[in-house]
Amino acid sequence: MSETAPRPDSAHEPDILAQLQAEVAQDLADERPPAGGPAYQVVAAVAVLVLGAVAAWLAHGYGLGSLRRPGPGLWPFVVSVLIVVLGLVLLLRGRALDDAEKFTRSSLLVLVGAATFLALGVLLPVVGFEIPAVLLCIVWLRFLGGESWRSTLVISVLTTAAFYLLFLYALSIPLPHLIAF
């Protein structure tokens, strides 16, 4: 037998790559929440529509200006209109899709994340940028993401410092802040 010729018993050996792919696919299927059905698609579409409409209304309040002299609300308004259009497409076509997932306990993590982000916006003018930003990172990394305390604290401080330097010094955005260099 030559070295390059296949062994006679190799035809009966299982394909390891195919087995691994099947195992990974099964693990992903086991972890996936149950399917939600068309009602969940409609709820998601309505939520996107409401979000886009409110954002467009708020952006319009900032002033749109013109294409030659855009106002501060022009691009947020354009993005909001695109969100509304995508929400309409999802509302019209989404009922035929089957990839919506039922709301589970882990779905609440999205609400917690949004609530903490809103809290950042409320606390920012009151106590400055640094404390709410660090707290937001801690909540997201430790409690929502399950990171260790060590990595949570290091990443939170470094991320806040990076955004602090970016916004206040590189972009010269006048954020309220406690620490001044």
79-119 pLDDT, tens digit each: 999 999 999 998 888 777 767 777 777 778 888 888 988 98
111 is written with which tokens? 């609400």
Angstrom CA distances, 132 to 22, 47, 56, 80, 99, stand at: 44, 27, 27, 27, 36
Judge contact between 83 and 48, C-beta under 8 A: yes
Buried b / exposed e along 129-166 (16+ C-beta atoms within 10 A)? bbbbbbbbbbbbbbeeeebeeeebbebbeebbeeebee
CB atoms < 10 A from the CB of 83, how many? 18
AA letter at 63: G
pLDDT digits (tens, 9 = 90+) for 27-79: 777 777 777 777 888 888 899 999 999 999 999 998 888 888 888 889 999 99
pTM above 0.75, yes or no: no
Report residue 63: phi and psi, to 5°.
Answer: 95, 130
Nearest to 52 by CA among 91, 86, 4: 86
Distance of CA 120 to the CA centre of its chain: 17
With residues binned 3-state (H G I as helix, E B as strand, rest as coil), the percentages for the chain, rounded to 5, are 70, 0, 25
Continuous H helices in 94-173: 108-127, 130-138, 149-164
pLDDT digits (tens, 9 = 90+) for 6-23: 555 555 567 888 888 888
